[in-house]
C-alpha cells in the first residue's frame, strides 16, 4: 500500500473500510480518470487532494449512517452516476454488494464500464439511459443519487424501483436540506412514503454533507 492522505485513510477506516487493496484500487481509478479525462471531459475534479476528498471520501460517507450497505448481496442503483461516483467507489469498498451505475451520458457510462473492467469489478453493472425510461428495473434495496437533480424529481423517477424495505438516499449539501425536507414531509404527510434526514457532518476537507432519505412506512 502506497502512502495515501492520512485523513482520508482515517475517515474511511472509521466508516469500516480499511482494506489496503481498496486504497490501491482507488489510486488506479484516479490514474485512469486523469488519463481518460484528457480525451473527453468527465469531471472537473482530477487534482490529487480533491480526488480523495470529493470523490472517495464523499462517496463513502453514505456508510456513516446506512450500515445496511454492509449486508451481503445488497442491491444498489446509483442514478446519474456520472464518472462513477459513488457507484465505482461503493463497488470497490463493498465487494459483496451488487451495484448498478446509471447515467444518460454515454461517454460517462463508457468510462464506468472501462474502469470496472480495469479494476476487475465483478459486482458492478452499467446502464446507459434516463431513470424515467427504465421501466424494467428490478427491485433495489437502495437507490442513491449524488449531485444530480432535485429530490422530488428523483423520487418520482425511481420510487417504483424500491423493495419493500428499500431506501432512496440522496447526497445533499447542508444548506439545501432545511427547506427541502419541510416541503417533502408536508407533501408526503399522508402518503405511503416518509422523508427524513441524517445529522450534518464534516468531510475530511472541512466541507459539510448530509443525506435526505425516503423509506416506505
Asked if residues 26 and 5 have their Cβ atoms less than 8 Å apart, the reply is: no
Residue 202 domain-assigned? Answer: yes
Asked if residues 65 and 211 have their Cβ atoms less than 8 Å apart, the reply is: yes
| Cα gap 211→201, rounded to integer Å | 10
Q: Can you tell me whether residue 80 is helix, strand or coil?
A: coil
Angle at CA of residue 15, ends 80 and 90, nearest 5°: 30
Residue 91 domain-assigned? Answer: yes
Residue 27 domain-assigned? Answer: yes
**What pLDDT is stored for residue 136 in this prediction?**
67
| Cα gap 110→115, rounded to integer Å | 9
Residue 1 domain-assigned? Answer: no
Residue 152 domain-assigned? Answer: yes
Per-residue pLDDT of the chain (217 residues; tens, 9 = 90+): 678 999 999 999 999 999 999 999 999 999 999 999 989 888 887 788 999 999 999 999 999 999 999 999 999 999 999 999 999 999 999 999 999 999 999 999 999 999 999 999 999 999 999 998 887 688 999 999 997 889 999 999 999 999 999 999 999 999 889 889 999 999 888 788 999 999 999 999 999 999 999 999 8
Q: What is the pLDDT of residues 116-145, one digit of tens each?
A: 999 999 999 999 999 988 876 889 999 999
| Cα gap 193→170, rounded to integer Å | 15
Q: Please tell me whether the overall predicted TM-score, pTM, comes out greater than 0.85 for this model.
A: yes
Quote the domain boundaries for residue 41.
6-216
Number of domains in the chain: 1
- Interstrand relation of 193-197 and 208-216 (parallel, antiparallel or unpaired): antiparallel
Tell me the DSSP string of 139-185.
PEEEEEEESSS-HHHHHHHHGGGEEEEEEEEEEE-HHHHHHHHHHHH
- Among candidate residues 98, 93, 196, the one with its CA nearest the CA of residue 138: 98
- Interstrand relation of 124-128 and 75-79 (parallel, antiparallel or unpaired): unpaired
CATH number of the domain encompassing residue 99: 3.40.50.150
Query: Residue 209: which H helix or E strand, with range?
Result: strand 208-216
| Cα gap 11→204, rounded to integer Å | 7
Q: What is the pLDDT of residues 176-190, one digit of tens each?
A: 898 899 999 998 887
Amino acid at each position: 500500500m502506497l502512502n495515501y492522505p492520512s485523513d482520508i485513510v482515517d475517515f474511511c477506516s472509521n466508516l469500516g473500510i480499511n482494506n489496503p487493496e481498496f486504497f490501491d484500487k482507488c489510486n488506479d481509478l484516479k490514474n485512469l480518470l486523469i488519463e481518460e479525462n484528457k480525451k473527453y471531459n468527465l469531471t472537473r475534479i482530477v487534482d490529487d487532494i480533491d480526488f480523495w476528498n470529493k470523490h472517495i471520501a464523499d462517496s463513502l460517507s453514505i456508510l456513516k449512517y446506512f450500515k445496511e450497505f454492509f449486508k451481503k448481496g445488497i442491491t444498489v442503483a446509483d442514478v446519474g452516476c456520472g464518472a462513477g461516483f459513488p457507484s465505482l467507489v461503493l463497488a470497490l469498498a463493498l465487494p459483496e454488494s451488487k451495484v448498478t451505475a446509471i447515467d444518460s451520458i454515454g461517454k460517462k457510462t463508457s468510462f464506468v464500464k472501462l474502469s470496472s473492467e480495469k479494476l476487475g469489478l465483478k459486482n458492478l453493472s452499467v446502464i446507459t439511459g434516463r431513470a424515467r425510461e427504465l421501466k424494467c428495473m428490478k427491485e433495489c434495496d437502495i437507490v442513491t443519487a449524488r449531485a444530480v437533480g432535485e429530490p422530488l424529481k428523483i423520487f418520482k423517477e425511481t420510487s417504483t424501483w424500491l423493495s419493500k424495505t428499500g431506501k432512496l438516499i440522496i447526497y445533499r449539501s447542508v444548506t439545501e436540506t432545511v427547506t427541502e425536507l419541510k416541503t417533502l414531509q408536508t407533501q408526503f404527510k399522508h402518503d405511503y412514503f416518509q422523508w427524513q434526514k441524517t445529522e450534518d457532518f464534516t468531510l475530511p476537507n472541512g466541507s459539510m454533507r448530509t443525506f435526505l432519505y425516503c423509506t416506505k412506512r
